[in-house]
Amino acid sequence: MNNVINVIDREGEKHILEWEPDQSLMESLRDNDLPVMASCGGTASCATCHIFLDRDVVVSLGERSEDELELLVETECYDESSSRLSCQVRHDPSLNGLNVVLAPEE
Amino acid sequence: MSDKSVVIVGAGHAGVQAAGRLRELGWHGGVIIIDQESHAPYERPPLSKDLLKPDAQDDSALLRKASYFQDKDITLKPATSVLQIDRQKRMVALSDGSGLPYHRLVLATGSSARKLTIPGSELAGVQVLKTKTDALTLKSGLIAGSKVVILGAGYIGLEVAAAAAARGCNVTVLEFQDRVMNRVTSSVVSHYFQKLHESHGIRFAFGSAASHIEGDGRAERVFTTDGAMFEADVVLVGIGVVPHQGLAENAGLECNDGILVDENGLTSDPYVYAAGDVTRSICPFEGTSRRLECIQNALSQADQVASHILGLEPKKPEVPWFWTIQHGLRLQTAGIQQPEDEVLLRGNPADGRFSVLYLRSGRLAAIDTVGGLADFLPGKKLIAAGVELDRTLAADPGAGLAQSARPVAA
Ligand SMILES: Cc1cc2nc3c(=O)[nH]c(=O)nc-3n(C[C@H](O)[C@H](O)[C@H](O)COP(=O)(O)OP(=O)(O)OC[C@H]3O[C@@H](n4cnc5c(N)ncnc54)[C@H](O)[C@@H]3O)c2cc1C
Ligand code: FES
């Protein structure tokens, strides 16, 4: 089943997207025309897929990898409780209705 | 399909990004991508990394999901080559015998692996790694116990060496220079990675040039100019790439080891753009002309091209960057180091994580981060800002790298 997610882009505009089960969250954003550069193809190397999620969702997703954290912490608008690299967020039915905010470009 | 088609040659990172950006930015005309390969457009970095892992599936990540192109009204013509450009008529000739008119043409033909030309190069078992087909062929030869000889200790050669060792092969790397990744990094980093590879059983022969390959229908032995011989079941040639510029050259576009483009990706013909590995342009951070072989460059030039076609402001240029992963260890580089740069070590290699800063006239020109990413983004920003660094602060891993910028004198 596809998840339906709500995305706020960098201009504050809202988009409603389908997130397919075999996609990472980054892939769903990128393949739906959101300006996510994803230069590293989803390998936690570039931080261009930085997003904010609700704090309780971040908690439910569990630990971030060391690479992810090291990259995120150095972004300008890092927020400990809501920052994630969207390429590291895997599809899960429980994330239906997810709210996603694109972080400003570095 | 509407007229006003943008025809893109090449469905690699640059071509697909250009097509996607055209749609994102609101291009209403046709978008057509032609590619000679028959696989759906895919990511190249995993071909020498994840795809070769022992437990990997025979599939590498796609650049876009399969239905993307149709959803976005992008026509994708796989298994078709562009043979010729007629700039007068603004048409390209395709291998299926048809001709295609263009409103704008984007050449994103990438590069091809440099071929080995010594005797025996044509033997079965001697191969390069550029396409998914190459990767699958290579993978089928990486059987435990088989002898793998790799020519060239660059990124590709070393990534394959690591993958082959993990699959239980006997791996030897022959390198003409005296250290690994000589072209792209300093000796500190080279030696660190050499030791890492050696600790996984990989052998190196430096100062060693292959002279010929022998075998009965298949490669069995590689000989070097200094008389050494290495037995081989598989020979992987990783000696660099050459820009795929024949199409452009034959059409009279200005080329010089790469199609020459300006900051908008425009060639010497105002109707023809180029992006990615195939181009040469003036690097805004150094003022020199260069060809870059990395995803970052392919994507950002594709963005510039799409913006320019739509008459929009181009994005700010991004500092070029690259990554490689060998035996699970990550080397990530931003900027481009020169042999003359002052080398400053930040952190201790013995800890398995450190950075190397490359200073030019006191300013940060490039950075390598090994085993950690904390310095990567700050390093990239300092390079873009072109500020001088305080050497003592910069060498202290206890202080954030961003803090080492010297205040700009008023
Ligand atoms: C194994 C491997 C690992 C890599 N790892 C990394 C990495 O970790 N990080 C990194 O930054 N970069 C890496 N690179 C380099 C990176 O893949 C290239 O810089 C990037 O692919 C360049 O994109 P491009 O679109 O210019 O060319 P390509 O992706 O090479 O695409 C060009 C396409 O054009 C097609 N084509 C060419 N001529 C014609 C024609 N006449 N008609 C039709 N089609 C044509 C080709 O078949 C090809 O599909 C790696 C490359 C390889 C091969
Ligand atoms: S896509 Fe590069 S870090 Fe997520």
- Cβ separation A40–B295 shorter than 8 A: yes
* CB < 8 Å to A41, chain B: 43, 45-46, 61, 295
Is the ipTM value over 0.90, yes or no?
Answer: yes
Confidence of residue B59 (pLDDT cuts 50, 70, 90): confident
* CB < 8 Å to B323, chain A: 40, 43, 45
Pocket of ligand 1 (CB under 6 A): B 9-15, 34-37, 44-45, 47-48, 81-82, 108-111, 129-130, 156, 244, 247, 276-278, 293-296, 298, 322-324
Pocket probe mutation, ligand 2, options A31, A74, A85, A90, max atoms within 8 Å of Cβ: A85
Q: How far is the CA of B258 from the centre of ligand 2 (A)?
A: 28
Confidence of residue B410 (pLDDT cuts 50, 70, 90): very low
Q: Whose CA is nearest to atom 42 of ligand 1?
A: B81
pLDDT tens digit string along B269-311? 999 999 999 999 998 888 889 999 999 999 999 999 999 999 9
pLDDT value at position B283? Answer: 85
Tokens, residue B40? 């759906």
* CA distances in angstroms from B273 to A99, B251, B253, B276, listed in the order given: 38, 13, 10, 11
Cβ neighbors of B55 (< 8 A, separation 6 or more) are: none
Helix axes B13-24, B295-309, angle to 10 degrees: 40
pLDDT tens digit string along B123-165? 999 999 999 999 999 999 999 999 999 999 999 999 999 999 9
Residue A102 has pLDDT above 70, yes or no: yes
pLDDT value at position B205? Answer: 97
Average per-residue pLDDT in chain A?
96
Q: How far is the CA of B12 from the centre of ligand 1 (A)?
A: 5
The whole-number average pLDDT for the span B78-103 is: 98
- The alpha carbon of residue B229 and the mean position of all alpha carbons in its chain are separated, in whole angstroms, by 31
Residue B54 has pLDDT above 90, yes or no: no
Q: How far is the CA of B203 from the centre of ligand 2 (A)?
A: 34
| Four-CA torsion B9, B10, B13, B18, nearest 10 degrees | 20
The whole-number average pLDDT for the span B17-29 is: 95
- The alpha carbon of residue B225 and the mean position of all alpha carbons in its chain are separated, in whole angstroms, by 29
* CB < 8 Å to A31, chain B: 64-65, 68
* CB < 8 Å to A70, chain B: 372-374, 376
Strands B342-348 and B353-360: antiparallel
Average per-residue pLDDT in chain B?
95
Question: What's this model's pTM, rounded to 2 decimal places?
Answer: 0.96
Q: Whose CA is nearest to atom 17 of ligand 1?
A: B44
Residue A5 has pLDDT above 90, yes or no: yes
Confidence of residue B1 (pLDDT cuts 50, 70, 90): very low
pLDDT tens digit string along B323-360? 999 999 999 999 999 999 999 999 999 999 999 999 99
